[in-house]
Amino acid sequence: MMDAISISKARLRFGQTIALDDVSLAIPQGTCFGIVGESGSGKTTLMRAILGLQKLDQGDVCILGMPLSHSRAALKKRARVLQPIFQDPAASLSPRSRIRTLMGEVATVLNEPLAVTYERLGVILNRLGLPKGILDKYPHEISGGQARRVAIARALLMKPSILIADEPTAGLDVSVQGDLLNLLQDIRQLENMTLVVISHNLAVVRLIAENAVVMRAGKAVESGDVASMFQSPRDAYTRELLSAWPRLRVE
């Protein structure tokens, strides 16, 4: 089966900083892939390159075997396959539009009757535990947690087969973090979705991802199967990350 996303020899620098340094990855379809690493290691830049929001200096990105193109036709095609969930979900909702308007845009893009889109939306809102009334609100009238769900709902409404989430649990209390993670797990199971999760939370990535890459200073220092990576890390930096992680052990 062809890979959902493959990146070969991606290089990118911003002035003096090397944001991506010869990164190559393959993300198989239907799996969850974790991107971990400290802040500034290039995780978000890698996501933006995959989305086509950031042009690479060198290297290629392929989505389902198709090389990334910046033409409008290609963008339209890609939007039905690949959807992002940005790090600050409240900021990813247009501030002067009602949620209903934002959801309605999906119908236009998919060329689908509005009624059909709203019917699918009803199912999605239900599953995400969002009340219907939220559609009449503006983004600043809902809570941060709800905004996160609205952003996910909108992405799901596009019926993508690949979802990329940047730090989906950052800033959440543990009591609500689990809720979001369970949701992502459900989405994967029900839709056979490919999920790419960027996170600095190693413990979480270990439990939800089949494969992962560890980034440092723009380099992919170690990548592969999560189980073996966490059990016997090959790279010194991976070992350092793992040993620094606070443990909850009972003596």
Angstrom distances, CA of residue 235 to CA of 137, 158, 215, 231:
48, 38, 11, 12
Of 232, 230, 233, 220, nearest in space to 26 by CA: 220
Binding mask 26-45 for Mg ion (x = CB under 5 A): ------------------x-
Residues facing residue 8 across a β-bridge:
60
Supply the minimum distance, in Å, between the C-beta of residue 43 and ligand ADP. 3
Give residue for tokens 């993670």. Answer: 181
Residue 76 binds another protein (CB under 8 A): yes
- Binding residue for another protein (CB under 8 A) from 8, 24, 29, 87? 87
Take residue 23 and report the two structure tokens written for it.
């990164």
Query: Torsions phi, psi of 68, nearest 5?
Result: -65, 130
Residue 200 binds another protein (CB under 8 A): yes
What is the C-alpha to C-alpha distance for residues 223 and 28, in angstroms, rounded to an integer? 13
Q: Select 60 or 225, whichever has its Cβ closest to another protein.
A: 225
- Binding residue for another protein (CB under 8 A) from 18, 26, 51, 217? 51
Q: Select 91 or 116, whichever has its Cβ closest to another protein.
A: 91
What is the C-alpha to C-alpha distance for residues 228 and 141, in angstroms, rounded to an integer? 45
Residues constituting the chain: 251
Give SS3 for 64.
Answer: coil
Stretch that binds another protein, among 6-14, 16-24, 104-112, 120-128 (CB under 8 A): 104-112
Chain residues binding Mg ion by CB under 5 A are: 44
Chain residues binding another protein by CB under 8 A are: 32, 38-39, 51, 53, 72, 75-76, 78-79, 82-84, 86-88, 91-97, 101, 105-106, 108-109, 151, 154, 158, 173-179, 181-182, 185, 188-189, 200-204, 206-210, 226-227, 230, 240-251
